[in-house]
């Protein structure tokens, strides 16, 4: 069993378009908390994916409430899409919504591992990650601008 840091990539290196781990590699790390309390992992992931704009407590609370009615995936899958866009990852093994609808804990674990393998630690929060990047002279990942329509 490899450690989560074994295949860690620098967040500034070009991406191959591939996830660093598979969707069902849940048992390669300590994902026990995600299986018992997925809202905590989700909140931590969201804070990093949103670059500190969303509080992990707010995200976790919303996830928990929607999860009580079976609709957590409706709130969580757009963050998978956002993560994929930040790192130019392929939509695998199927659409983001379907992955979160059918395998939400596996998806959250994979997203958590992806952040860790790219040099971001969701457990310490966005501010601590920024401080660590500055200390290591790394730059936070930027999302490329979409296509813009020019009026003629």
For the chain, the domains span 30-132
Residues of the chain with pLDDT under 50: 1-14
Tens digit of each residue's pLDDT (9 = 90 or more) over 89-129: 999 888 889 999 998 999 999 999 999 999 999 999 999 99
pTM to 2 decimal places = 0.77
Rounded CA separation 62/72 (Å): 8
Q: How far is CA 80 from the centre of its chain?
A: 6
């Amino acid at each position: 069993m490899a450690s989560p840091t074994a295949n860690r990539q620098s967040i500034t290196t070009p991406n191959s378009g591939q996830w660093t781990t598979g969707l069902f590699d849940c048992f390669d790390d300590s994902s026990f908390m995600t299986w018992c309390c997925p809202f905590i992992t989700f909140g931590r992931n969201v804070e990093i994916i949103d670059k500190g704009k969303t509080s992990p407590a707010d995200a976790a609370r919303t996830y928990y409430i929607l999860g009580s009615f079976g609709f957590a995936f409706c709130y969580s899958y757009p963050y998978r899409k956002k993560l994929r866009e930040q790192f130019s990852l392929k939509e695998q093994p199927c659409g983001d919504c379907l992955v979160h609808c059918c395998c939400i804990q596996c998806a959250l674990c994979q997203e958590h591992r992806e952040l860790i393998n790219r040099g971001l630690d969701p457990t310490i929060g966005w501010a601590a990650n920024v401080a660590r990047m500055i200390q290591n002279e790394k730059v936070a990942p930027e999302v490329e601008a979409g296509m813009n329509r020019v009026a003629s």
